[in-house]
Amino acid sequence: MRKTHAVGAAMAGALLLAGCGANPTESQGAVGDSSSSAPAAATHAKDQALFDRLPDKVKTAGKLVSVNNGSFPPYEIAGTDGKTMTGAAAELAEELGGLLGVKIEHVTVDGLPSQLTGIAAGRYDLALGPVGDFPDRQVSNDFVDWVQEFVVFAVPKGNPKKIQSIADTCGLRISVMAGGSAEKVVKAQSDTCVKDGKKKVEVQSYKDQPTSILAVRSNRADGFFSSQAPLTYFVKQSGGELELAGTGQANGFDTLYQGAVVAKDSPLRDVLKDGLQKLIDDGTYEKVMTKWGTNGNMLKQAGVNLAKQ
């Protein structure tokens, strides 16, 4: 059975290093807001055919509101002002907005459930994400997938507990994002450990990535189990204290896709897919993903609800 992938909230890398794990309160700001770290202005001109396919309320407002749950480096990195957003997703949002002929604004909320319920209720138009696409989430949402992901461990340098895969976690302390599928996978592994006569996994659930990482860096946890792309970012920011482990392994997951989220059967779904495909076809997507070190997570084709039972 497929497990739901943890795509958690986190503050900016600078806050991680400062030991702060709290998410900002809900705040709003346009992508490309004036800041030295804000994405450059979009290079794409308005595609009238795509603009004409947008819902009337979006065309009238001249904007799309994209919700996030804090930083998810290197895709979304929330500024300390609670308004600006940088990262691969922020840059793609700028280009996508130029192509669609509207601004894409960011709103930060606390936690993935708040994102999904807000989209379902119409408070937000989408979450550009990338957010984990799983069959159970497709019941109430549609996904426009633009990323393939893997789930691995961030561990202390030297990997003292010798974690090579999820099977090596019996008796260890593993931090995860609360409510995501990494948590479910580790808890299932803990049950397997007990059935096999081994010690259970001590699962430590946190609401954001900085707190999860801090648990490893402060020796409260033996490893953090989460998405490879953001963990790679955090490892690079750790000053040599951390490394990746369990890479190249399934670790309890099938092929993982991540993408933008819209309400079920939203007219935005296919417009976003076609807009993202244009960015893929003209090389913008590859340029941005390579810049942020996520070229190993690229897809050749944007797709809708790629996760299958």
**Dihedral, CA of residue 95, residue 98, residue 100 and residue 104, to nearest 10:** 80
SS3 label, residue 73: coil
For the purposes of burial, counting CB atoms within 10 Å of the CB of 209, is it exposed (0-12), middle (13-18) or buried (19 or more)?
A: buried
Does this chain's domain 13-148+255-304 share its CATH topology with 151-245? yes
Q: What is the DSSP letter of 307?
A: -
Instruction: Tell me how far apart the alpha carbons of residues 265 and 27 are, in angstroms, rounded to a whole number.
Output: 27
Domain 13-148+255-304 architecture: 3-Layer(aba) Sandwich (3.40)
The partner residues of 30 in beta bridges, in order of sequence, read: 105
Integer-rounded Cα radius of gyration of the chain: 19
Instruction: Tell me how far apart the alpha carbons of residues 6 and 160 are, in angstroms, rounded to a whole number.
Output: 25
From first to last of its 309 residues, what are the pLDDT tens digits of the chain? 333 333 333 333 333 333 333 333 333 333 333 333 455 566 899 999 999 999 999 999 999 999 988 778 899 988 777 668 899 999 999 999 999 999 999 988 887 888 999 999 999 999 999 998 999 999 999 999 999 999 999 999 999 999 999 999 999 999 998 888 899 999 999 999 999 999 999 999 998 888 999 999 999 999 999 999 989 989 999 999 999 999 989 999 988 999 999 999 999 999 999 999 999 999 999 999 999 989 989 999 999 999 986
For domain 151-245, give the CATH number.
Answer: 3.40.190.10
Domain spans in the chain, listed from the N-terminal domain onward: 13-148+255-304, 151-245
